[in-house]
Amino acid sequence: MDGIATSAYIQCCRTAAFVLNSSKGECNMRIFLTGATGFIGSAIVTELIQAGHQVRGLTRSEAGAQALIAAGAAVVRGDLDDLDSLRRGAAAADGVIHTAFNHDFSQFAANCETDRQVIEAMGSALMGSNRPLIVTSTTGMGAITSGQPATEDNFNPAHPNPRKASELAGVALAGCGVNVSVVRLPQVHDSVKQGLISPLIALAREKGVAAFVGDGRNRWPAVHISDVARLYRLAVEKQQAGRRYHAVAEEGIALRDIAEVIGRGLQVPLVSLSEDEAPAHFGWLSDFVRRDLPASGANTQDWLGWHPGGPGLIADLERMQYRSV
């Protein structure tokens, strides 16, 4: 049996074993996870292991390796710039979940291009099999009409946001037969961290005011971290090729409501800024805080049987220990 045939035979056996175990109510996938030591990734590690999966997490540091081992996961050494390590990790897995992303917004376009290359590299290792690749994007990619919730069925390949590169890479791989699906994220939160709201809190602390733009009625969607971890698990288990999932529990929370809770927590005044004043105050966040970005996750709930039950965003913000953050 040559190398290609051997690889195909091994993957066939893996798939058959997973189907058999699933029919018995058991799960036994070997899952390669990028971003495994991050805020979202570490929650996914726990969720997957508790469900019976074996996790191999990507990390570049000794501290990350020790954290993965402590959580019960195996370690794959590498990073997003080491495409060979990503190919090796994907090739040895029954499924891949990609959550790693460089969130340095001063280099956002370049980081989006890196993400495209990362997705292409891991996808190349999955060609010729039905092994799932779950990539990550943002709910804003599903927006079509201003003021209407973004939905799973929508994607504009000409979207001005450079993050479209992640989904375009997935589309290209799907055209080559790779089993790709996308999880789009809103503001992911617990009582310690809340996506883009965390830098808003730091800014309010620095400048002594909790600010919003105009009337503050523009909205951001949100979901609790525990619900996100469960959604990724369901996505990799159910292997519904071509799906775009929205990890949305709350379709939209007004920025004014968010600022009010931050103001109370930090004991700083609430301030409305004009459009012209926003860039100087918010810096790189100014474009985000002016946007109305509601999103729906109704289709995702139907497709996966996913029903978010974690605390809401405002509840988590009210539980924060602002003096210690």
Q: What is the pLDDT of residues 127-138, one digit of tens each?
A: 999 999 999 999
Q: How far apart are the first and last CA of the chain?
A: 58
Q: What is the pLDDT of residues 265-314, one digit of tens each?
A: 999 999 999 999 999 999 999 999 999 999 999 999 999 999 999 999 99
* Confidence tier at 244 by pLDDT (50, 70, 90): very high
* Confidence tier at 192 by pLDDT (50, 70, 90): very high
* Confidence tier at 144 by pLDDT (50, 70, 90): confident
Paired with 223 in beta bridges are 188
* Confidence tier at 23 by pLDDT (50, 70, 90): very low
Tell me which residue of 311, 294, 166 sits closest to 228, measured CA to CA: 311
Q: What is the pLDDT of residue 5?
A: 37
Q: What is the pLDDT of residue 325?
A: 61
Higher pLDDT among residues 239 and 3, named by residue: 239
The C-alpha atoms of residue 52 and residue 176 are separated, in whole angstroms, by 30
Sign of CA dihedral 252, 258, 260, 264: positive
In the chain, what are the domain boundaries?
Answer: 3-189+221-251+295-304, 197-220+252-294+312-319
Across the chain, mean pLDDT equals 91
- Return the CATH number of the domain spanning residue range 3-189+221-251+295-304: 3.40.50.720
SS3 152: coil
Tell me which residue of 131, 110, 135 sits closest to 35, measured CA to CA: 135
Indicate whether 69 pLDDT > 50: yes
Indicate whether 11 pLDDT > 80: no
Q: For the beta carbon of residue 127, count every other beta carbon within 10 angstroms.
A: 11
